[in-house]
């Protein structure tokens, strides 16, 4: 099985490359950390405390749409793959796809008016 | 005669030579394996810098290397490697250090299933397209974790934008892939390319190609969809805290991913390695030639966008993905399903 061997060698080599880069960096670089160097970057301002506070995540409705569409995409994928096996089912699948496409076009037209999308 | 004079190599050395010369090791280490991927990343950066310089009427890299400053990228890499690896005060140390390495591995593994010709693939599977998509879906996770582990406000905002953008464009990518698989009736890159021997899929599935191409640019985080790493507004976004080899690894991972996506597009839509036969060239060389020519044209288009278009806002990016690309991808699948049905009815 030379192909499986090739895949295994490739995985080992691609995992070795970043380790090699990191080791070379550790060997070549100077090491004298100071407090100033370790501060987070904030465009030259003095960084202020912000660690475990809440953060307003906008675009939250999009996350919900993602969940709905991810399921839908898997469904469409599986049903369209069914046509690979049975050609009689193709009409049903065309009807399903037409309904889904029409509803997604309707959704995309109305999503712009959704009030809480920001 | 000289061979007879030399003593035969001792058995362990003999085994080592046989191992290095074996097909599996050559494929994994040289072409299309690790060396090829690393050199390709370097060449892509050089090509992008030269091309953008020409767009902006500059010269670009010039001094390092005899021809066109081609060693400039290597010099940059050496400079990155000789910088101090500073771990920020608020960072989660282990995640912060490990994630760029994981990003490289995830990016490089994309190459393991892409064929470059009938003989040139590391691993040939009946489900290689699905494996490719699975690896592609996993590849943003190290980058998102890297942004989160940096413990900086800029990184956090960039990471959030990145996550939303990747989620928004993964579904159109998947749906346009469905159209290709449906038309080729195969989950294998080889089967898909073989189905394009007559006409490449870009002609019947132009809608699907448009969706795939736009989603590809967004997945690879190129301008005009590079809001997560906006250099000017967000000072490199989720990458801002990464010094030295961490930054080098993230950049290498991103360019590797871009190249893998370009090669996959050539296989999926542009007819892979098919092209007019070249007299005097064996097929093993001519096939990668046509493959790389098509990929180079596609890569040039993608890189040119950076010189031509401005960045668009995150709201528009999300709107575009959800409200325009998904219906278009669904209509594409509908057309693909209709074509064989109409052929049987009419």
| pLDDT tens sequence for chain B (346 residues) | 455 567 776 777 888 888 888 887 887 778 787 888 888 888 898 999 899 899 989 888 888 877 878 888 888 888 888 888 888 888 888 888 898 999 999 988 888 888 888 888 888 888 888 889 889 888 888 888 888 888 787 788 788 888 888 888 888 888 888 888 888 888 888 888 888 888 888 888 899 999 999 999 888 888 788 776 666 666 677 777 888 888 888 888 889 999 999 999 999 988 888 888 788 778 778 888 888 899 999 999 999 988 888 888 777 787 788 888 888 988 998 888 888 778 777 7
Report helix angle B206-219 to B244-268, nearest 10: 170
Task: Give residue A49's pLDDT.
Answer: 66
Q: How far apart are CA B289 and CA B274, in angstroms?
A: 10
Whether the CB of A79 is below 8 Å from some CB of chain B: the reply is: no
Nearest to B299 by CA among B43, B12, B62: B43
> Chain B residues with CB inside 8 Å of A28's CB?
81-82
User: For residue A40, what is the DSSP state?
Assistant: P
Task: Give residue A117's pLDDT.
Answer: 45
CB B184 within 8 A of CB B319: no
Distance set, CA B331 to CA A103, B145, B170, B179, B342 (Å): 11, 35, 17, 10, 16
Those residues with Cβ within 8 angstroms of residue B46's Cβ, 6 or more apart along the chain or in another chain: B61, B68, B69, B70, B72, B73
Tally C-beta pairs within 8 A across A and B. 208
Instruction: State which residue of chain A sits closest to B84, comparing Cα positions.
Output: A29
CB B88 within 8 A of CB A40: yes
Q: How far apart are CA B54 and CA B57, in angstroms?
A: 5
> Who has greater pLDDT, B271 or A42?
B271
Query: pLDDT tens, A63-104?
Result: 777 788 888 888 888 877 776 666 677 777 888 888 888 888
CB B275 within 8 A of CB B286: yes
CB-CB under 8 Å, B24 with A5: yes
Whether the CB of A96 is below 8 Å from some CB of chain B: the reply is: no
- For B287, the token pair is 């096939």
Q: How far apart are CA B153 and CA B141, in angstroms?
A: 19
- For B201, the token pair is 């899929």
CB-CB under 8 Å, A33 with B105: no
End-to-end, the C-alpha distance of chain B in Å comes to 73
- For B51, the token pair is 């091309």
Residue A55 binned pLDDT confidence (cut-offs 50, 70, 90): low
Q: How far apart are CA B96 and CA B182, in angstroms?
A: 41
For an interface test with B, the pick among A15, A22, A60 (most B C-beta atoms closer than 10 Å) comes out as A22
Q: How far apart are CA B169 and CA A104, in angstroms?
A: 15
Q: How far apart are CA B157 and CA B165, in angstroms?
A: 12
pTM of the model: 0.87
For chain B, positions 245-304, list CB contacts with chain A under 8 A. Answer: 245, 248-249
Q: How far apart are CA B52 and CA B311, in angstroms?
A: 16
- For B125, the token pair is 């599977």
CB-CB under 8 Å, B104 with A18: yes
Whether the CB of A56 is below 8 Å from some CB of chain B: the reply is: no
CB-CB under 8 Å, A21 with B245: yes
Task: Give residue A118's pLDDT.
Answer: 41
Q: What are phi and psi of B132, to 5 degrees?
A: -60, -45
B23's enclosing H/E stretch is helix B23-29
Task: Give residue B301's pLDDT.
Answer: 92
Query: Given the structure tokens 């009427």, which residue do they identify?
Result: B57
Q: How far apart are CA B152 and CA A42, in angstroms?
A: 8
> Chain B residues with CB inside 8 Å of A56's CB?
none
CB-CB under 8 Å, A37 with B86: yes
With 0-12 CB in 10 A as exposed, 13-18 as middle and 19+ as buried, what is B313? exposed
Between CA B238 and CA A58, with CA B227 as vertex, the angle to 5 degrees is 85
Whether the CB of B159 is below 8 Å from some CB of chain A: the reply is: no
CA B83 to chain centre: 27
Domain limits of chain B?
86-345
Q: How far apart are CA B32 and CA B40, in angstroms?
A: 10
Task: Give residue B117's pLDDT.
Answer: 81
Nearest to B38 by CA among B108, B100, B101, B123: B108
Instruction: State which residue of chain A sits closest to B26, comparing Cα positions.
Output: A6
A93's enclosing H/E stretch is helix A90-110
Task: Give residue A84's pLDDT.
Answer: 62
């Amino acid at each position: 099985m030379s192909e499986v061997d090739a895949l295994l060698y490739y995985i080992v080599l691609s995992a070795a490359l970043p380790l090699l880069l990191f080791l070379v960096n550790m060997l070549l670089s100077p090491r004298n950390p100071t407090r100033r160097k370790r501060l987070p970057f904030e465009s030259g301002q003095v960084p202020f405390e912000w660690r475990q506070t809440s953060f307003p995540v906008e675009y939250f409705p999009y996350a919900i749409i993602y969940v709905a569409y991810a399921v839908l995409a898997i469904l469409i994928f599986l049903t369209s793959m069914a046509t690979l096996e049975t050609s009689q089912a193709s009409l049903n699948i065309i009807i399903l796809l037409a309904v889904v496409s029409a509803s997604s076009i309707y959704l995309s037209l109305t999503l712009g008016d959704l009030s809480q999308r920001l | 005669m000289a061979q007879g004079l030399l003593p035969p190599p001792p058995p362990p050395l003999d085994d080592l030579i046989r191992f290095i010369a074996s097909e599996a090791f050559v494929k994994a280490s040289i072409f299309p394996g690790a060396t090829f991927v690393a050199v390709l990343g370097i060449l892509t950066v050089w090509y992008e810098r030269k091309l953008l310089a020409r767009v902006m009427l500059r010269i670009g890299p010039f001094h390092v290397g005899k021809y066109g400053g081609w060693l400039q990228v290597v010099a940059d890499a050496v400079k990155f490697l000789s910088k101090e690896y500073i771990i920020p005060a608020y960072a989660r140390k282990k995640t912060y250090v490990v994630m760029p390495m994981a990003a490289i591995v995830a990016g490089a593994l994309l190459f393991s299933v892409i064929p470059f010709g009938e003989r040139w693939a590391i691993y040939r599977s009946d489900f290689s397209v699905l494996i490719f998509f699975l690896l592609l879906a996993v590849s943003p996770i190290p980058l998102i974790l890297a942004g989160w582990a940096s413990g900086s406000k800029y990184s956090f905002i960039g990471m959030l934008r990145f996550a939303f953008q990747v989620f928004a464009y993964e579904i159109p990518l998947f749906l346009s892939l469905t159209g290709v698989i449906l038309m080729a009736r195969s989950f294998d890159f080889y089967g898909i390319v073989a189905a394009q021997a007559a006409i490449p899929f870009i002609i019947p599935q132009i809608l699907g190609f448009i969706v795939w191409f736009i989603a590809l640019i967004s997945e690879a985080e190129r301008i005009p969809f590079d809001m997560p790493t906006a250099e000017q507004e967000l000072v490199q976004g989720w990458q801002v805290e990464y010094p030295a080899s961490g930054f080098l690894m993230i950049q290498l991972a991103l360019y590797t991913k871009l190249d893998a996506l370009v090669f996959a597009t050539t296989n999926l839509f542009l007819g892979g390695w098919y092209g007019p036969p070249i007299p005097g060239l064996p097929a093993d060389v001519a096939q990668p030639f046509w493959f790389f020519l098509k990929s180079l044209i596609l890569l040039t288009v993608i890189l040119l966008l950076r010189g031509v278009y401005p960045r668009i806002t995150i709201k528009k990016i999300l709107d575009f993905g959800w409200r325009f690309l998904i219906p278009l991808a669904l209509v594409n699948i509908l057309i693909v399903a209709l074509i064989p049905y109409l052929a049987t009815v009419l």
